[in-house]
């Protein structure tokens, strides 16, 4: 799997965000788009069926798509959806692709990762029809305890709306959480300097909260079809690297919430559920 390496490398480099050179800004969607790009990249590498659907034009993607559920009647903007193209709708004149998004989001790829991307079929942004996979990505980088209720509610409402739209659709949740002792927040203009974190308590609380989100193993039940947690160490000072944390409470490699397990489950569920579209 490539996405976590790509994510940490890309967040290690400051890029223009809201008029400043920054690694991360909580009010920007760059980190969410980095995550979604990487997950789609890994899913394309893992699922032969998805690659076949992309090659035949059966599947496109939508970014920041507002999904409306049938029951209950609610709506939510989702970071990324994989979908059938909407019949009769005009495609974008210059649709975004995995390739064009590399430059847009400042995605850092090794030569080997670029070669893998070059050999994938070209998946394009298109008008959203029936949603097959919906992805919600959230990050908790500072003020963990304060942010947790909102993050939990946003993630939990995601799978409810996706499955209210279609019980067959796959709802995927991703959570990135910061293990650093301090974090320079661009929104903290009144008190310049890093926010201090009570670690490992804040990290443990955040991981435990997301671990408690409902998961489902059958389309008639409620919960996420796939859920992954990634722990990083990042202080956002503009130069220090973003590093992956693999020690507890980060999910171990054999944990169902490990990133690799999430993608493998996504690929298996996609191949099983959508073999005849």
Give yes or no for residue 102 having a pLDDT over 80.
yes
Q: For 53-71, what is each residue's pLDDT tens digit? A: 999 999 999 999 999 888 7
CB within 8 Å of 217: residues ≥ 6 apart: none
Answer yes or no: are the C-beta atoms of 159 and 221 closer than 8 Å.
no
What's the CA gap between 62 and 101, in Å, rounded? 13
DSSP code for 6: H
What's the CA gap between 210 and 228, in Å, rounded? 9
Burial 175-194 (b: 16+ CB within 10 A, else e): bbbbbbebbbbbeeeeeeeb
pLDDT at 188: 80
By C-alpha distance, which of 129, 47, 49, 61 is closest to 99? 61
Q: For 243-268, what is each residue's pLDDT tens digit? A: 999 999 999 999 999 999 999 999 99
pLDDT band at 192; cut points 50, 70, 90: confident
Q: Which of 93-97, 113-117, 163-167 has the highest mean pLDDT?
A: 113-117
pLDDT at 221: 83
pTM for the model stands at 0.95
Q: For 213-247, what is each residue's pLDDT tens digit? A: 999 988 778 899 999 999 999 999 999 999 999 99
DSSP code for 68: E
pLDDT, mean of residues 93-116: 95
């Amino acid at each position: 799997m490539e996405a976590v390496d790509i994510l940490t490398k890309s967040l290690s480099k400051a890029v223009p965000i809201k008029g400043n050179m920054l690694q991360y800004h909580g009010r920007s969607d760059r980190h969410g788009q980095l995550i979604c790009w990487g997950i789609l990249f890994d899913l394309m590498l893992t699922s032969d069926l998805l690659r076949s659907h992309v090659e035949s034009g059966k599947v496109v993607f939508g970014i920041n798509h507002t999904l409306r559920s049938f029951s209950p009647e609610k709506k939510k903007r989702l970071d990324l959806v994989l979908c059938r193209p909407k019949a009769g709708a005009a495609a974008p004149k210059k649709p975004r692709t995995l390739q064009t998004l590399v430059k847009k989001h400042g995605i850092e790829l090794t030569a080997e990762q670029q070669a893998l991307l070059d050999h994938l079929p070209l998946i394009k942004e298109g008008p959203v029809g029936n949603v097959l996979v919906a992805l919600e990505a959230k990050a908790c980088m500072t003020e963990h305890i304060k942010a947790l209720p909102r993050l939990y509610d946003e993630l939990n409402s995601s799978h409810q709306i996706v499955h209210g739209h279609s019980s067959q659709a796959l709802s995927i949740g991703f959570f990135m959480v910061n293990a650093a002792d301090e974090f320079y927040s661009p929104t903290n203009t009144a008190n310049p300097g890093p926010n201090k974190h009570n670690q490992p308590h804040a990290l443990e609380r955040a991981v435990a909260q997301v671990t408690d989100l409902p998961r489902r193993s059958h389309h008639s039940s409620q919960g996420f079809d796939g859920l992954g947690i990634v722990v990083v160490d990042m202080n956002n000072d503009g130069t220090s690297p973003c590093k992956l944390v693999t020690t507890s409470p980060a999910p171990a490699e054999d944990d169902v919430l490990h990133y690799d397990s999430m993608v493998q489950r996504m690929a298996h569920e996609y191949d099983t559920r959508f073999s005849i579209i």
